[in-house]
A and B are shown apart, each in its own frame.
Chain A
Amino acid sequence: MQHTIHFHQASAQALNDDVLQHNLQKSNNLFVDKRKKAIDEFVPFENFRTQAAQIKQSVLDDLDQWLLKFESQAIDNGAEVLWATDAEEACQLVANICHQVKAKKIIKSKSMLSEEIELNKHLLSNNFTVIETDLGEYVIQLAGDTPSHIVAPMVHMNREQVSTLFTQHHHTPPTNDIQQLTLEARAQLRKHFISADVGITGANFLIADTGSAVVVENEGNARLCMTLPTTRIILAGIEKIIPDTDAAALMISLLPRSATGQKISNYISFSTKPHQPTDDNPADGPTRLIYILIDAGRSQLLQPDSRDMLRCIRCGACMNHCPVYQNIGGHAYGWVYPGPMGSVLTPYYIGLKQAKELPFSATMCGACDHVCPVKIPLTKLLRNLRQKVIHQEGTNTIEKLSLTLWNWLCHKRWRYQLATRIGRLLMRMLGDSSGMIRTIPGNPWTKTRNISIGNTPQTFMQWYEKHQQS
């Protein structure tokens, strides 16, 4: 997928979308407040954050060896392990498996990686029926939409929109009762769970020592995907490896608290081997377990100046605390991953040219750095990307001229001093008697804010030289 992301245009549209703004305002503080309460109650949080960052980093520094360890253990457990260099290959591998087992219906739990590789589109073009089973993803699928958050995919929608979709697709009466809507989805999806041939899940973590996949969820749909169908495919990025069960316990203490403010998510499943088929009854899980380890740009991200980003455990805390994301939602970021982590990943995964506006989407306030449970230096990564964009793509004519002028002014002290004195004069002309500039024609800042210029009669250098003499 090579489309260009027009972030500035999309964010302006998002700000003018009243329904979106109403829906975002309802949800914004909830994630922040719940996380804060959970972290405040968890004394070891900072210690565990440091350890989690170190553990993930040490695995990334030897990623080839850890992947081989995982593969070796998984194969010894009776699972199959396939590797995909890119999105297209990953989709083809999934389709091949589904053809091989003569699947008609495929059920999926939430997987952002599957969104990255556009798996559903590929499977539908191969005439498979694909059903998203996470409630939010199911609603998104019915709407023909895309997720706007990596943990809460339909945070941009409201109950009325859900009711309209259910009435249209289920032919049921409309309702604004959220419990009723949830029960309706439960009943509809249970039929699909029972009749599916293949279950596809992602993996929050892959444990190298035991050859296990860990899936963290609240609804139970992932458990159903990994219990009822006879074939299960696990899609995992190559960066998902952690060394052992101790690391798993550590990550599990950080992920739910950072994502939703829960001490622990409702269901955490460890899948280690295929189930044995039984003669008279279906097995309690898939008799065929297949991992697809997907690169799709991750090996490139592994280079030293961007490796930190692969520590991400997809909690969503960065976007929940981002003042930009809070005001525009996820779709304005134009691809699978929104917010600060998306602003770093998207340029690397789809191309700097296509996503050159995203590194500039941040205010660089640093909230994301502060809340990341694996201490990814997101602002540093964004700054690096900004430099890359300027070097590779250049900048616009006005900015070039402005910087050239600034460069010329700064080269000689007298030029700089003259410029600041002219600037001070202009400020006095624009300001009023109270020391405020209330309007600058054509400048959007002063539409909602004033600029204080104070009542100081001299420049700082004038004041400094005067005081030096005295």
Chain B
Amino acid sequence: MKNTNSHSRQRVLKRIRQSLNKPIHGSPSDRHPPTPVHPITDFSELNKETPHHTQRLKHFIHAAIANQCTTQQIGSRQQLPEAISTYLREKPLPSTPSINSPRQIWGWEEFHPLDWVSANIRFQSEKIDRQISTENTIGLTSTTYAIADTGTLLLQSHPSQPLATSLLPETHIAVVHHDQIHHHLSDILSNTLISHIDNPQTVLISGPSRTADIEQTLILGAHGPKYVHLILITNESSPQKPQ
């Protein structure tokens, strides 16, 4: 039994019930109480604004760029290593390693089978080293869903999909399949899809980490990644996610 302070619990509940003018002793079913009637949430006003589903990719890219992400489009997963190599060649870095030495990427296991050697990338799929430098480091993840309206990614924690890969490095590269894009957050957080937040942790990511705490001046790369690069796969559907 994880609840170890029942005396305080009872006091708080008693005070609440007194303010609500309810009987103060509750019921024997307090451990598994009946749920009160759910107020209904109506998203119809929002859905009036929803463009056609064929426009979702375009809207997602537009919103992601507005969030200070960069984007690339490729046809299939097989093209991923070369696409990343192209991105990294064009990416300005404060200290560029030798042009011929391989770039190192930490990535989720699902990307391990791809041909990284030909792209001159050293791919590591073991858990990201927490001591890694906050500079010049790259993490590669996929996504579960994306939201076109706000340019948002939804990632879920799983042993083979650690969220730290999207958080610790300086650059986060995320792979998004076209069929993963929904228009609104309410489309994927609705009660019918409740299993989507059944993982220990689910996170919505909408661009690089940022802060405006000092004189309300926006700076990217506060604590999380300074760069977020989205690679959109347009001709393949997304693979099954691990359970």
State the A residues within 8 Å of B (CB).
Answer: 23, 26-27, 30, 43-44, 47-48, 51, 54-55, 58-59, 61-69, 71-72, 75, 79-85, 89, 93, 133-136, 139, 152-155, 157-159, 162, 178-179, 181-183, 185-187, 189-190, 193-194, 208-210, 212, 218-221, 223-224, 226-228, 238, 243-250, 252-253, 260, 263-276, 278, 281-282, 284-285, 293, 295, 299-300, 302-303, 307
Contacts and interface: CB of A to CB of B under 8 A. Distances in A.
Contacts of A284: 127, 157, 159, 162-164, 200-201
Contacts of B16: 63-64, 67, 238, 299, 302
Given A43-B49, A270-B203, A27 B214 contact: no
B221 interface: yes
A44 B191 CA distance: 21
A383 B49 CA distance: 40
B3 A273 contact: no
Contacts of A67: 13, 16
Nearest to A250: B41
Given A26-B216, A68-B33, A186-B222, A285 B157 contact: yes
Contacts of A134: 213
Contacts, number: 287
A83 B126 contact: no
13 contacts: A30-B216, A63-B16, A67-B13, A154-B213, A219-B211, A220-B223, A223-B203, A243-B38, A245-B190, A269-B202, A278-B159, A284-B164, A299-B12
Nearest to A56: B39
Contacts of B189: 245-246, 248-249
Given A58-B39, A186-B134, A252-B185, A65 B34 contact: yes
A307 B19 CA distance: 9
Nearest to A251: B41
Interface in B1-45: 2-5, 8-9, 11-13, 15-20, 22, 26, 30-39, 41-43, 45
The residue in A85, A220, A271, A275 that gathers the most chain B C-beta atoms within 10 A of its C-beta is A220
A135 B214 contact: yes
A295 B41 contact: no
A136 B20 contact: no
B219 interface: yes
Contacts of A265: 206
Contacts of A58: 36-37, 39
* Across the A-B interface, the 8 shortest Cβ-Cβ residue pairs: A220-B224, A44-B45, A299-B15, A136-B213, A80-B2, A302-B19, A246-B41, A219-B222
Nearest to B26: A64
A135 B222 CA distance: 8
A183 B212 CA distance: 13
A85 B6 CA distance: 11
Given A83-B8, A209-B35, A303-B19, 9 more contacts: A68-B26, A186-B222, A208-B35, A219-B211, A220-B225, A247-B39, A271-B201, A302-B16, A302-B19
Contacts of A43: 45, 48-49
A59 B67 CA distance: 34
A159 B216 contact: no
Tell me the interface secondary structure of chain B in the complex. Answer: loop
B199 interface: yes
Interface in B168-225: 184-186, 189-191, 194, 197-217, 219, 221-225
Given A223-B203, A278-B159, A263 B149 contact: yes
B152 interface: yes
Nearest to A93: B5
A245 B191 contact: yes
A273 B199 CA distance: 7
A220 B213 contact: no
B99 interface: no
B227 to A, nearest CB: 13
In this complex, the interface size class of chain B, counting residues with CB under 8 Å from chain A, is 35 or more
Given A69-B35, A82-B4, A300-B19, A295 B223 contact: no
B55 to A, nearest CB: 17
A67 B204 CA distance: 25
B46 interface: yes
Contacts of B43: 246, 249-250
Given A136-B213, A226-B201, A285-B163, A81 B2 contact: yes
The residue in A54, A157, A246, A250 that gathers the most chain B C-beta atoms within 10 A of its C-beta is A246
Contacts of B91: none
Contacts of B52: none
B132 to A, nearest CB: 10
A390 B8 CA distance: 34
B182 to A, nearest CB: 12
Interface string B85-115: 0000000000000000000000000000000
Contacts of A23: 215
B118 interface: no
A417 B164 CA distance: 78
A381 to B, nearest CB: 16
B103 to A, nearest CB: 21
Nearest to B35: A69
A285 B223 contact: no
Contacts of B144: none
Interface string B115-156: 000000000001100110010000000000000011010000
Nearest to A46: B45
Contacts of B184: 249
A256 to B, nearest CB: 9
Contacts of A276: 159, 200
A218 B2 contact: no
Contacts of B13: 64, 67-68
A297 B152 CA distance: 37
B65 interface: no
B74 interface: no
A297 to B, nearest CB: 10
The residue in A27, A59, A85 that gathers the most chain B C-beta atoms within 10 A of its C-beta is A85
